[in-house]
Amino acid sequence: MTLEEIGAWKSFGGWQKVFRHQSNETGTAMEFSVFLPPAAERGPCPLLWYLSGLTCTWENVTAKGGFQRHAAEHGLIVVCPDTSPRGLDLEGEHDTYDFGSGAGFYLDATREPWSTNYRMESYVVAELPALVEASFPADTARQGIFGHSMGGHGALTLALKNPGTYESVSAFAPIASPMRCPWGEKALGGYLGPNRQGDRQTWRAHDTTALIEDGARVPEILVDQGTGDNFLAEQLKPELLEQACTKAAIPLTLRRQEGYDHSYYFIATFMGDHVAWHAERLAR
Amino acid sequence: MTLEEIGAWKSFGGWQKVFRHQSNETGTAMEFSVFLPPAAERGPCPLLWYLSGLTCTWENVTAKGGFQRHAAEHGLIVVCPDTSPRGLDLEGEHDTYDFGSGAGFYLDATREPWSTNYRMESYVVAELPALVEASFPADTARQGIFGHSMGGHGALTLALKNPGTYESVSAFAPIASPMRCPWGEKALGGYLGPNRQGDRQTWRAHDTTALIEDGARVPEILVDQGTGDNFLAEQLKPELLEQACTKAAIPLTLRRQEGYDHSYYFIATFMGDHVAWHAERLAR
């Protein structure tokens, strides 16, 4: 696999870079950003994954999230993948903001026509880490993952499904239970088909609260959630995460932040806390 | 004058807001952003103006500059105006990125068809401060000004031309001498006409180095300039500012930052230093 560098900016003493590569999983060209802190010039650094929300690419959080200051301070490499395959024109792919392009939901689709390309789970969990490990001084024995909204869902579910891979997990305003909100019902139905009853229901492997109920565990979780978030009651439902964690005795630090909304101004405000939280756990 | 609030996001304990109003100076609707730090809830705060560069609106630095963290910490109100009138369709106004819309150069045009609306100097120095003072808890006895590129030129020239108004001035990669670079020659020629010889040349009142040569003074200047900036040699020419300040005995802190370019990644990296620098001087 070949990485093509398509952007590079010096930032907080390190380098913010952007790469394009051909993905086997998605069958398309994919772009991602990587921040290399000053410490990466001296040796391997822990690797922190940031998964973005609906409609975003690597660029939104890279330009507006403000993580570089904190990643430079703590010596973390931060990688921000895209949120879906790009450059395709599947039927209905670009019709709505919450399904198809920009809305991959960090799962491997099983339903036509999505199953060939919409393989964001395998891309984020396996293909891209191998590429990053081969290309940058990343210590893949020390990985953390976080994200926003759909990307918070992605961070939580991927951490729960891959025990031992991610040492730390946190989220900004995550979709706590896609099985129980309109965004999630549309995405899971579209990519996976109806929620078939059986030994296990089809959707449960992609729902944070269901994964926890079914026995998946992470050491602890940090979540920030704005109380002024327009999507709070209908889509995000942090109380469901709270209930699941309480029942499973997973230590959850859920901070309800008064008056904050769903924007990057909210993310930037608490970015420093999250990066420090991961850094502390990845330094162990 | 009526302010219409068109955006409001909680940010670092304060509020990032955006307003639209009808401007007498430009004859158009104008937008600007204002960050209100937590301290503004308790009483008047110093007022820091940020002037943006070519092609930008209030939005670029507000979303990507990362000043909110530092302004919240130091208790400063930060106002970011637009870079030109908007919504007009003057002949040639939208043809090039470096003249007309997005490129007002913080001067009052004297040449037709620009002179009616392109009055960004009066707008930034007089009309908008009066509006801000009337609408927010801003202590206008303590004002600082900074900016980037064309906005660095704006900050420096407006501070030099209005002694006593701005207590502190700094810039990121400013156009040091518009009379002696292609961007400036195009703008000054277009807005002011040929550089007429006389008691004073027409352009000298809008050129930082000429203003200093002609006797204008500020107490001191902070400038950051990336050495990897594509516009350094042809457009920015910090050595001209250095020469003028040396001759005039104006204390200039000019920091050449190795490898940094002209982007917001550069601005964000040194934003904290600049806000702290202004805060220290505005607290006196």
Contacts of B13 in chain A (CB under 8 A): 269
Catalytic one of A149, A168, A170, A177: A149
In order of B84, B101, B149, B236, the CA distances from B185 in angstroms are 18, 17, 15, 13
Tell me the average pLDDT of chain B: 97
Instruction: Give residue A208's pLDDT.
Output: 98
d(CA A171, CA A176): 10
Q: Are B92 and B191 in contact (CB under 8 A)?
A: no
Kindly determine whether residue A10 and residue B63, on different chains, have CB atoms separated by under 8 Å.
no
Is the pLDDT at B147 greater than 90, yes or no? yes
> What is the band of A176 on the pLDDT scale with cuts at 50, 70, 90?
very high
Kindly determine whether residue A12 and residue B261, on different chains, have CB atoms separated by under 8 Å.
no
Give the pTM: 0.97
Is the pLDDT at A249 greater than 80, yes or no? yes
Q: Are B50 and B275 in contact (CB under 8 A)?
A: no
Residues above pLDDT 90, as percent of chain B: 96
Is the pLDDT at B174 greater than 70, yes or no? yes
**Rounded (10°) CA dihedral A208, A213, A216, A222:** 50
- Overall average pLDDT of the A200-222 stretch: 96
Q: Indicate the SS3 state at residue A184.
A: helix
Residue of A64, A258, A261 lying closest to B63 (CB–CB):
A64
Is the pLDDT at B254 greater than 90, yes or no? yes
d(CA A94, CA B117): 40
Q: Give catalytic status of residue B115 as yes or no.
A: no
Residue of A12, A64, A272 lying closest to B64 (CB–CB):
A64
Instruction: Give residue A83's pLDDT.
Output: 98
Phi, psi of B92 (to 5 degrees): 80, 0
* Own/partner long-range contacts of A56-61 (Cβ < 8 Å, ≥24 apart): A56/A83, A56/A102, A56/A151, A57/A31, A57/A82, A57/A83, A57/A102, A58/A18, A58/A31, A58/A32, A58/A33, A58/A82, A59/A18, A59/A33, A60/A264, A61/A148, A61/A264, A61/A267
The shortest C-alpha distance from A273 to chain B (Å) reads: 12
Residue A230 CB neighbours (<10 A): 12
- Overall average pLDDT of the A203-214 stretch: 97
Contacts of B228 in chain A (CB under 8 A): 10
Interface of A with B (CB under 8 A): 9-13, 16, 63-64, 66, 68-69, 226, 228, 257-261, 263-266, 268-269, 272
Is the pLDDT at A17 greater than 90, yes or no? yes
Catalytic one of B11, B149, B170, B177: B149
Work out whether strand A138-148 and strand A221-226 pair parallel, antiparallel, or are unpaired.
Answer: unpaired
ipTM score assigned to the predicted complex:
0.95
Q: Convert the pLDDT of each residue in A72-85 to its tens digit.
A: 999 999 999 999 99
Instruction: Give residue B199's pLDDT.
Output: 60
Instruction: Give residue A199's pLDDT.
Output: 60
Is the pLDDT at A180 greater than 70, yes or no? yes
Contacts of A10 in chain B (CB under 8 A): 226, 228, 257-261, 265-266, 269
Kindly determine whether residue B268 and residue A66, on different chains, have CB atoms separated by under 8 Å.
yes
Instruction: Give residue B1's pLDDT.
Output: 63
Structural tokens at position B279: 């805060």
Contacts of A16 in chain B (CB under 8 A): 265
User: Among A160-174, A190-204, B57-71, B205-219, where is mean pLDDT lowest?
Assistant: A190-204
Instruction: Give residue A193's pLDDT.
Output: 94
In order of A90, A96, A228, B136, B263, the CA distances from A28 in angstroms are 13, 21, 38, 51, 29
Is the pLDDT at A196 greater than 90, yes or no? no
Query: Number of residue pairs across A and B with CB atoms under 8 Å?
Result: 68
Kindly determine whether residue A268 and residue B9, on different chains, have CB atoms separated by under 8 Å.
no
d(CA B10, CA B72): 11
Instruction: Specify the DSSP element, H or E, that contains B29.
Output: strand B29-36
Instruction: Give residue A92's pLDDT.
Output: 96
d(CA A77, CA A137): 9
d(CA A215, CA A193): 24
Q: Convert the pLDDT of each residue in B154-171 to its tens digit.
A: 999 999 999 999 999 999
Q: Are B238 and B137 in contact (CB under 8 A)?
A: no
Kindly determine whether residue A11 and residue B266, on different chains, have CB atoms separated by under 8 Å.
yes
Interface of B with A (CB under 8 A): 9-13, 16, 63-64, 66, 68-69, 226, 228, 257-261, 263-266, 268-269, 272
Is the pLDDT at A1 greater than 70, yes or no? no
Kindly determine whether residue B10 and residue A261, on different chains, have CB atoms separated by under 8 Å.
yes
Instruction: Specify the DSSP element, H or E, that contains B50.
Output: strand B45-51
- Overall average pLDDT of the A19-32 stretch: 98
Is the pLDDT at B198 greater than 90, yes or no? no
Q: Give catalytic status of residue B274 as yes or no.
A: no
The span from the first CA to the last CA of chain B, in angstroms, equals 32
Kindly determine whether residue B12 and residue A269, on different chains, have CB atoms separated by under 8 Å.
yes
Is the pLDDT at A227 greater than 80, yes or no? yes
Q: Give catalytic status of residue B82 as yes or no.
A: no
- Overall average pLDDT of the A145-154 stretch: 98
Instruction: Give residue A213's pLDDT.
Output: 97
Is the pLDDT at B66 greater than 90, yes or no? yes
Instruction: Give residue B121's pLDDT.
Output: 98
With vertex at residue B12, the alpha carbon angle to CA B7 and CA B15, rounded to the nearest 5 degrees, is 30
Kindly determine whether residue B265 and residue A11, on different chains, have CB atoms separated by under 8 Å.
yes
Kindly determine whether residue A66 and residue B66, on different chains, have CB atoms separated by under 8 Å.
yes
Phi, psi of A20 (to 5 degrees): -120, 145
With vertex at residue B24, the alpha carbon angle to CA B159 and CA B95, rounded to the nearest 5 degrees, is 80
In sequence order, which residues have a C-beta less than 8 Å from that of residue B112 and are 6 or more positions away? none
The shortest C-alpha distance from A63 to chain B (Å) reads: 6
Is the pLDDT at B220 greater than 70, yes or no? yes
